[in-house]
């Protein structure tokens, strides 16, 4: 665990002491760390830069050394906003709940999977969509939402070949438009499918 994970973990526990961050709620911690990293990358103009991860860690460590209380205060506020968003944005689907509604979306996503694997600059595409979400006020689940938006559009446009630049460009443009709309919307955006057995208590 790096020091960012440790700090975010502590803040999440302050926000909700019931969270089991090393167990069943590990995903909450992972997504929070990813979102915090993306948020800083955006605000420090590191999106799209080659060595952005190294620079980000360096700047964070400097801040931690020079002004730990400022970093601590900022994190407290950020996690407060993020966790409120998490509760608004993430919905658990039990069993086959809403199955028909999601079948078309998941079909588009799985159709795009082969071409997505072959796209060379997928990290840059992801970062552009992430930046659009953050610019429009969405700070929760930025990476998950961006990847799904891109796959959804690639699947919908029937993109088979990553070298089909025109179709890929159209798909990316539509993903950016949807990202802007999504950031302005209210309610859940990330749906986590949970097996019914997960909630069944053993007899």
- pLDDT tens-place string over residues 53-106: 889 989 999 999 999 999 999 999 999 999 999 999 888 666 665 556 667 778
User: Average pLDDT in the 181-198 region?
Assistant: 75
Q: Is 98 helix (H, G, I), strand (E, B) or coil?
A: coil
User: Average pLDDT in the 22-47 region?
Assistant: 93
Report the share of the chain in percent with pLDDT over 90. 68
Segments making up each domain of the chain, as ranges:
3-91, 95-196
Quote the tokens at residue 176.
């950016």
Residue 169 CA to residue 62 CA, distance in Å, equals 39
**Residue 76 pLDDT:** 96
Give, to the nearest 10 degrees, the angle between helix 122-135 and helix 26-43: 80
Q: Any bridge partners for residue 75, and if so which?
A: none
pLDDT surpasses 50 at 203: no
Quote the tokens at residue 31.
């997504």
80-111 residues labelled b (16+ CB within 10 A) or e (exposed): eebbebbeebbeeeeeeeeeeeeeeebebbeb
User: Average pLDDT in the 180-188 region?
Assistant: 91
User: Average pLDDT in the 151-155 region?
Assistant: 94
Helix ranges restricted to H, 44-192: 52-66, 68-89, 99-118, 122-135, 142-156, 165-184
Give the C-alpha distances (Å, rounded to integers) separating 7 from 49, 75, 78, 100.
25, 8, 12, 40
The structure's pTM equals: 0.87
Report the share of the chain in percent with pLDDT over 70. 88
């Amino acid at each position: 665990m790096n020091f960012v994970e440790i700090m975010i973990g502590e803040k999440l526990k302050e926000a909700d002491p019931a969270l089991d961050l090393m167990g069943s709620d590990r995903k909450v911690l992972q997504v929070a760390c990813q979102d915090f990293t993306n948020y800083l990358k955006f605000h420090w103009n590191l999106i799209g830069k080659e060595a952005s991860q190294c620079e980000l860690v360096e700047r964070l460590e400097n801040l931690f050394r020079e002004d730990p209380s400022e970093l601590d205060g900022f994190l407290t506020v950020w996690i407060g906003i993020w966790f409120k968003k998490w509760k608004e944005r993430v919905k658990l689907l039990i069993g086959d709940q809403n199955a028909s509604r999601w079948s078309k979306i998941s079909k588009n996503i799985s159709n795009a999977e082969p071409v997505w694997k072959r796209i060379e600059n997928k990290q840059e595409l992801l970062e552009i969509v992430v930046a659009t979400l953050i610019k429009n006020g969405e700070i929760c689940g930025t990476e998950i939402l961006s990847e799904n938006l891109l796959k959804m559009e690639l699947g919908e446009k029937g993109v088979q070949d990553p070298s089909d630049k025109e179709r890929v460009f159209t798909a990316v443009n539509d993903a950016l438009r949807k990202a802007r709309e999504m950031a302005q919307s209210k309610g859940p955006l990330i749906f986590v499918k949970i097996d019914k057995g997960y909630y069944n208590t053993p007899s």
